[in-house]
């Protein structure tokens, strides 16, 4: 199970590093998905931004996942 010590820092990084500035509802979905793993949280980020995950570029998925990974503790 993954947890986030500082959700504000996570969402600020997603906004500044990846360009995904999630609204409150999207942030809640990401936090709810995190216990299911980084891939589930990555899919929640993409869904909150309206990105079709199966068709999203691999580089974008990796950038979101890496950003999430940098802010979670296993």
pTM for the full predicted model: 0.93
Q: Is pLDDT above 80 for 51?
A: yes
Q: If you search the block for the tokens 């990846």, which residue do you land on?
A: 18
- Contact of 68 with 40, CB cutoff 8 Å: no
Q: What is the rounded average pLDDT for all residues in the chain?
A: 94
Residues 14-36, mean pLDDT to the nearest whole number: 97
What is the β-pairing status of strands 72-73 and 3-4?
A: antiparallel
For residues 53-57, give the mean pLDDT.
95
pLDDT band at 5 (very low <50, low <70, confident <90, very high): confident
Task: Classify each residue of 20-55 as buried b or exposed e, where b means 16 or more C-beta atoms within 10 Å of its C-beta.
Answer: bebeeebbebbbebbeeebeebbbbbbebbebeeee
Split into its structural domains, the chain has a count of: 1
With bands split at pLDDT 50, 70 and 90, how would you rate the model's confidence at 70?
Answer: very high
Instruction: For residue 31, give its domain range.
Output: 3-73
């Amino acid at each position: 199970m993954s947890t986030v010590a500082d959700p504000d820092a996570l969402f600020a990084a997603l906004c500044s590093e990846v360009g995904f500035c999630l609204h409150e509802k999207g942030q809640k979905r990401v936090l709810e998905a995190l216990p299911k793993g980084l891939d589930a949280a990555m899919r929640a980020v993409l869904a909150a931004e309206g990105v079709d995950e199966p068709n999203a570029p691999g580089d974008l998925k990796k950038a979101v996942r890496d950003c999430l990974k940098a802010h979670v503790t296993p």
